[in-house]
């Protein structure tokens, strides 16, 4: 039987288990998802035809609180992927000390092929199919790949229709006017920025002397590029699903973002008043971007981008995983042997779920915070947990990834053991 994404993800758990003292009961439970749901979603298309889409929702663990995780729309979505993402979310929430378990959802679809009307019908149909599986105290949804605030708003509205009451806390990442939180849209990038500054400073890697390449120019990648450029880092390469651009002297990130939003393309455009000139740059592939000779590489696209096949080509000194699962376990070993520091996804991109937690709290209290307060709370959370993971990595002389799983495992183990273990029952 071929190895699945979940098999690969589970290897990180096995490595961390050597360094923790949790019960056999707890480790056994963490190797299996609590519940998985597969649904068919019939959608009436604009031309009158009927299409059936496959949808998924996995609640991996809810020991520490209701499940929490995004919903992605992508042609490659499958149960194995969703289960792996829910697994990572479980450890991410524990790592950040959030009162959530891990969950994830998705629909197998290319959303670019759907009209806005079809997209809305699909989103509402998904909620119709999984309504009994989710809820503010059971499993809370959020945006992920190719989903956004508008889609989250449709989902929250549909759930409220089904429940016959306004239920904003069932979904985070909603429009502000529907109970969304300030700072949520940029939270993943902002959290990653805090982690990067903290880690790079430990190696005396100053912004002005640091070159960066970013694979993935979606919401997280694009906003992070802005933050890094404004802080003095030299962003020399960026890419999206169609390819990328590279300029040794650095890129004008705001102009690239403007061009991509305007024309759905990727070019380095420098603008002055109404005159725009294309700056000298090289067009590169995503594979070429990964092997650039830069200080920092940021995979911010999809999983399995760095594998055993291309890990030997990586030249960056530091990799910060903004995407979920962009590096396979086999590639991890190669990168570690090359002396490359990998800062894991469950820490780097945890800003999104952290501000989702803030949104959930605000929804339940009916009291909303200002952006400065949200960013202050986010920064405190990210810095605190980054320092703890760093300390664990130094204490046990392990990678930052293993240290992050050790940290999350300790918290999950305590919660699972609090319900009773084999030793507890035998000694009573």
Provide the whole-model pTM.
Answer: 0.89
The domain covering 181-428 belongs, at the CATH homologous superfamily level, to NAD(P)-binding Rossmann-like Domain (3.40.50.720)
Closest CA to 6 of 324, 220, 305, 298: 324
Same fold, 33-168 and 181-428: yes
Would you tell me how many other CB atoms lie within 10 Å of the CB of residue 135?
A: 16
Helix (H, G, I), strand (E, B) or coil at 265: coil
pLDDT of residue 2: 54
Among 3.30.1780.10, 3.40.50.300, 3.40.50.10860, 3.40.50.150, name the CATH number for the domain at 33-168. 3.40.50.10860
Sequence-distant (6+) residues with CB within 8 A of 415 are: 63, 64, 94
CA 228 to the chain's CA centroid: 18
Percent of the chain at pLDDT > 70 equals 92
pLDDT of residue 423: 67
pLDDT of residue 261: 66
Would you tell me how many other CB atoms lie within 10 Å of the CB of residue 261?
A: 10
- pLDDT one digit per residue (tens) for the chain, 428 residues: 357 888 888 888 888 888 888 888 888 888 899 999 999 999 999 999 999 999 999 999 999 999 999 999 999 999 999 999 999 999 999 999 999 999 999 999 999 999 999 999 999 999 999 999 999 999 999 999 899 999 999 999 999 999 999 999 999 999 999 999 999 989 999 999 999 999 999 999 999 999 999 998 888 999 999 999 999 999 999 988 778 888 888 888 887 877 666 655 544 443 443 333 444 567 888 889 999 999 999 999 888 899 999 999 999 999 999 998 899 989 999 999 999 999 999 999 999 999 999 999 999 999 999 999 999 999 999 999 999 999 999 999 999 999 999 999 999 988 887 776 666 666 66
pLDDT of residue 77: 96
Distances (CA, A) of 260 to 23, 239, 266, 281, 310: 51, 11, 5, 16, 28
DSSP string, 200-260: HHHTT--GGG-EEEEE--SHHHHHHHHHHHHTT-EEEEEEETTEEEE-TT---HHHHHHHH
pLDDT of residue 281: 63
* 398 Ramachandran zone, left/alpha/beta (phi>0; psi -120 to 50): beta
What's the CA gap between 313 and 291, in Å, rounded?
5
Backbone φ and ψ of 24, nearest 5°: -60, -35
The domain segmentation of the chain, as residue ranges, is: 33-168, 181-428
Sequence-distant (6+) residues with CB within 8 A of 333 are: none
Out of 11, 18, 68, 104, the active site residue is: 104
Would you tell me how many other CB atoms lie within 10 Å of the CB of residue 263?
A: 10
338 is catalytic: no
């Amino acid at each position: 039987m071929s190895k699945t994404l979940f098999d690969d993800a589970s290897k990180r758990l096995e490595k961390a288990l050597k360094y923790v003292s949790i019960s056999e009961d707890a480790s056994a439970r963490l190797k299996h998802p609590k519940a998985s749901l597969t649904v068919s979603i019939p959608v009436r298309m604009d031309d009158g035809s009927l299409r059936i889409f496959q949808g998924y929702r996995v609640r991996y663990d809810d020991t520490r609180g209701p499940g929490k995780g995004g919903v992605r729309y992508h042609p490659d979505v499958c149960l194995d992927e969703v289960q792996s993402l829910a697994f990572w979310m479980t450890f991410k929430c524990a790592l950040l000390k959030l009162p959530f378990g891990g969950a994830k959802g998705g629909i197998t679809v290319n959303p670019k092929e759907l009209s806005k009307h079809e997209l809305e019908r699909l989103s509402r149909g998904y909620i119709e199919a999984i309504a009994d599986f989710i809820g503010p105290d059971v499993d809370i949804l959020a945006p992920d790949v190719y989903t956004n605030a508008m889609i989250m708003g449709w989902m929250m509205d549909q759930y409220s229709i089904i429940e016959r009451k306004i239920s904003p806390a069932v979904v985070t990442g909603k429009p502000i006017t529907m109970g969304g939180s300030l700072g949520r849209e940029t939270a993943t990038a902002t959290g990653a920025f805090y982690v990067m500054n903290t880690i790079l400073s430990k190696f005396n890697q100053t912004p002005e002397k640091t070159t960066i390449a970013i694979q993935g120019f979606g919401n997280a990648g694009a906003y992070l590029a802005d933050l890094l450029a404004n802080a003095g880092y030299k962003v020399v390469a960026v890419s999206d699903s169609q390819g990328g651009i590279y300029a040794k002297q650095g890129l004008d990130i705001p102009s690239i973002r403007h061009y991509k939003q305007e024309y759905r393309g990727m070019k380095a455009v420098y603008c002055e008043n109404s005159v725009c000139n294309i700056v000298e740059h090289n067009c590169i592939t995503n594979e070429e971007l990964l092997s650039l000779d830069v200080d920092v590489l940021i995979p911010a696209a999809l999983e399995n981008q760095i594998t055993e096949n291309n890990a030997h080509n990586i030249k960056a000194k530091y990799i910060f995983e903004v995407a979920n699962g962009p590096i396979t376990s086999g590639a991890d070993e190669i990168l570690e042997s090359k002396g490359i520091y990998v800062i894991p996804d469950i820490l780097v991109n945890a800003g999104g779920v952290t501000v989702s937690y803030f949104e959930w709290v605000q929804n339940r209290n009916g009291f909303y915070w200002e952006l400065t307060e949200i960013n202050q709370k986010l920064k405190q959370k990210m810095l605190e947990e980054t320092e703890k993971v760093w300390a664990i990595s130094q204490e046990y002389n392990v990678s930052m990834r293993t240290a992050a799983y050790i940290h999350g495992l300790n918290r999950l183990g305590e919660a699972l053991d609090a319900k009773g273990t084999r030793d507890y029952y035998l000694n009573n």
